[in-house]
């Protein structure tokens, strides 16, 4: 199954069972592809900023991001499913974010980074 | 700990991740004239709390790094999510949240010029996003529909509003001589001055994607043929709405041509913080 077919099936999944018979529009597919490319290129350029701290860390991070991206593609349909209006999901990510922020500042707030 | 908790409150008040879905959902469900005001309040909250965080916690280098990281996340996640939406209210909601990332990056750079360039987009985004919400609100007024898959042919119904909305979209994307071009240009200069060109690259890339997202919505609503089953209200767009859109456009053009009208007040404020 090519990447294009995977994207089409993911879009159909997001749109719900009642639209299974309707064709996926070219606008939807091109938007998903554009969002995917934007996400990957932005994350890769952002990870390159780690060069200010350590070149070795940057290389490892870039290789890890590329590995995760290749194995998890397509990412945008999954992100869209996760970022919906569900209150449970929102609360989960809010509590997760609070934990991460508190941990980062508590243990690393004094770091000279 | 204090910094982490204040930053968490700042993230909620301004709609940065992980609260970007909540804010965009609020903007999409509110009446569009209400959403125009709500987003302005969120921008002002972002600026007010951001300045407080910088003033109190500037001695913590990690605070600035975190502000830049979360602003990047806001830009990337929101603008990519906007591309995936089919409801134009959600598209503008996500674009509004994404533009706040630019403000956060300016504040996070930590220099006087960086903070000035962070505050200038705040002024611009409050105006441009309100412009877009009210502009697209006319589509809802005429059709009662916000799903771009069910819309089309609106340029024939409201050509003057279509032109104004197109100019609002060009302003959002940073096309000269409108105001957001100047603010994004200054932000890129500030990131180059600090020695982080990657931020400039990401900002340019996401500005292009913002323009692409807006043009997708504009094409779907205005340019493509009207669907047969789309019912259009025959009442005219109120003159007061057109007047307000023209006022927004004039503000965008004036701030684009004469940015010193805003930056002359913002620069002394930024200098006093450093």
Express each pLDDT in A54-96 by its tens digit: 899 999 999 999 998 888 878 888 888 777 777 788 888 888 8
Alpha-carbon distance of B141 to B136, in angstroms, equals: 9
Instruction: Enumerate the H helices of A73-112 as residue ranges.
Output: 76-82, 87-108
Report chain B residues touching chain A, CB-CB < 8 A.
1, 3-5, 7-8, 11, 17-22, 25, 60-63, 65-66, 72, 75-77, 79-81, 83-84, 86, 149, 195-196, 198-199, 201-202, 205-206, 209, 212, 216, 220
Q: What is the pLDDT of residues B221-274, one digit of tens each?
A: 999 898 888 888 888 888 999 999 999 999 999 999 999 888 888 888 888 877
Alpha-carbon distance of B177 to B252, in angstroms, equals: 9
Give me the total of CB pairs closer than 8 Å, taking one residue from chain A and one from chain B: 107
In a mutational test of the B interface, the residue from A10, A18, A46, A92 whose CB has the highest number of chain B CBs within 10 Å is A46
Largest CA distance in chain B: 62
* Closest of A81, A11, A73 to residue A40, by C-alpha: A73
Alpha-carbon distance of B228 to B153, in angstroms, equals: 10
Q: What is the pLDDT of residues B32-71, one digit of tens each?
A: 888 889 999 999 999 999 999 988 887 777 888 889 999 9
The DSSP secondary structure of B146-206, one letter per residue, reads -BGGG---HHHH-HHHHHHHHHHHHHHHT-TTSHHHHHHHHHHHHHHHHT-HHHHHHHHHH
Task: Please judge whether A45 and B205 are an interchain contact, meaning their C-beta atoms are less than 8 angstroms apart.
Answer: yes
In a mutational test of the B interface, the residue from A16, A38, A81 whose CB has the highest number of chain B CBs within 10 Å is A38
Alpha-carbon distance of B171 to B108, in angstroms, equals: 24
Is the overall model pTM greater than 0.90, yes or no? Answer: no
Q: What is the pLDDT of residues B141-199, one digit of tens each?
A: 999 888 888 898 899 888 999 999 999 999 999 998 899 999 999 999 999 999 999 99
Q: How far is CA B30 from CA A12, B19, B24, B55, B74, in A?
A: 28, 17, 10, 34, 21
Tell whether A39 is within 8 A of chain B (Cβ): yes
Q: ipTM score of the complex? A: 0.86
Q: What is the dihedral of CA B271, B3, A97, B207, to 10 degrees?
A: 0
What is the pLDDT of chain B when averaged over all its residues? 90
């Amino acid at each position: 199954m090519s990447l294009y077919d995977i994207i089409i099936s993911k879009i159909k999944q997001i749109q719900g069972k009642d639209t299974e018979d309707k064709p996926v529009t070219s606008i939807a597919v091109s938007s998903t592809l554009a969002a995917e490319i934007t996400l990957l290129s932005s994350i890769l350029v952002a990870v390159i900023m780690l060069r200010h701290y350590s070149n070795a860390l940057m290389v490892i991070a870039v290789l890890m991001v590329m590995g995760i991206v290749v194995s998890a593609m397509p990412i945008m349909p999954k992100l869209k499913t996760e970022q919906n209006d569900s209150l449970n999901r929102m609360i989960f990510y809010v509590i997760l974010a609070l934990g991460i922020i508190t941990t980062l500042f508590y243990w690393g707030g004094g770091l000279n980074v | 700990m204090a910094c982490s908790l204040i930053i968490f409150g700042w993230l909620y008040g301004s709609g940065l991740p992980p609260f970007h879905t909540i804010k965009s959902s609020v903007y999409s469900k509110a009446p569009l004239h209400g959403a125009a005001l709500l987003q302005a309040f969120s921008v002002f909250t972002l600026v007010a709390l951001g300045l407080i965080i910088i003033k109190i916690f500037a001695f913590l280098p990690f605070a600035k790094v975190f502000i830049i990281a979360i602003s990047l996340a806001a830009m990337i996640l929101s603008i990519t999510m906007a591309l995936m939406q089919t409801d134009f209210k959600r598209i503008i909601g996500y674009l509004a949240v994404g533009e706040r990332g630019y403000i956060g990056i300016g504040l996070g750079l930590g220099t006087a010029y960086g903070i000035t360039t962070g505050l200038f987009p705040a002024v611009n985004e409050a105006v441009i996003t309100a412009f877009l919400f009210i502009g697209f609100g006319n589509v809802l007024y005429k059709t009662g529909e916000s799903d771009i898959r069910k819309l089309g042919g609106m340029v024939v119904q409201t050509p003057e509003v279509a032109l104004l909305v197109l100019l609002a979209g060009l302003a959002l994307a940073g096309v000269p001589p409108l105001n957001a071009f100047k603010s994004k240009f200054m932000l890129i200069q500030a990131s180059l001055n600090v020695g982080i060109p990657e931020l400039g690259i990401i900002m340019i890339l996401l500005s292009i994607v913002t323009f692409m997202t807006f043009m997708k919505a504009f094409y779907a609503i205005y340019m493509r043929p009207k669907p047969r089953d789309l019912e259009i209200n025959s009442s005219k767009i109120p003159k007061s709405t057109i007047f307000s859109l023209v006022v927004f456009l004039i503000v965008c053009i004036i701030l684009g041509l004469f940015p010193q009208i805003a930056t002359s007040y913002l620069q002394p404020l930024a200098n006093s913080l450093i």
